[in-house]
Structure 1
Amino acid sequence: MMINLIADVLVASLLVATIITCFILTRRIERLKADEAGMRQTVGALITATDNAERAIAGLKHTLGDCDRTLEERLRTAERYAADLAAQVEAGQAVMERIGQIVSAASLVGAKSGPDAAPAAEPVPAPVSRLESAAQSAAAIRARAARRLKEQAA
């Protein structure tokens, strides 16, 4: 009988241990299920964020392509303007050289005409810039034209 009692106590203690273990495992399973729901929400949010990011990247690629095309057009236009401007500067330099040659030739003709000729124009100081040179050349041409008109009138 004693052995039956010891066996019953042993079975009862094992049952209590089993019940406690089942209770602990049940709580762990509930936490895992709660964590699973949280993970599902997190995964869903990540999928949504990934989709949004992919759409944003596609939009950025499209915008980058537009910017690239616009920049390319503007660079081509700027190159054309630069070439036109360079051609105009060269033409302006050629005109300035011709004006300088005309002024030099006129100065030589005025100097060779001797003391009987009309008084020469005022001496022209050395030009500081192309613009001043052009202005001085224009003033010299105007002065010679005025002298010629006076000579023709006389």
Structure 2
Amino acid sequence: MLSTNSAQAIKQSAFVTELLDDPSYGAVGSDASEQVDHICGECGGHLVAFPTKDGRTWYRCEHADLCGFSLNACSECGSGLPEERDESGLKTCACGAEYPSCPQCENGWLVERRGRYGRFLGCVSYPRCKGKMKATPQN
């Protein structure tokens, strides 16, 4: 049986993913690392996690030379990627933080920003994605 350890699972290739997904190969992944597979909304490749010196994480498409897509992690926990879990229009991170989904791109979510006309919600993938919406008024 083929097994992967947790250090290899961080940068799991598409080939290994295909082996693990096809039961006829008998490949078994490590139970210790229940890794969520994040897909690049630009090209369909896998988003690979890269830790930074300050303990946060950013994600880059496995096809960096061709696609070039990258994304910062959740601003609350610094390591997860918020995902759409239901039809609410919100993306939720494993840490529990919720963000509105970006109306223009698949991977992005909206965070509060300030511009010359005041507060608004803009995509975390700015300037690659210019998705935005009005911020709800604060009481």
Q: State the TM-score, normalized to the length of structure 1.
A: 0.19
Higher RCO (CA 8 Å, separation ≥ 6 residues): 1
Larger CA Rg, structure 1 vs 2: 1
The structure with more strand, counted as a fraction of residues: 2
More helix by share: 1
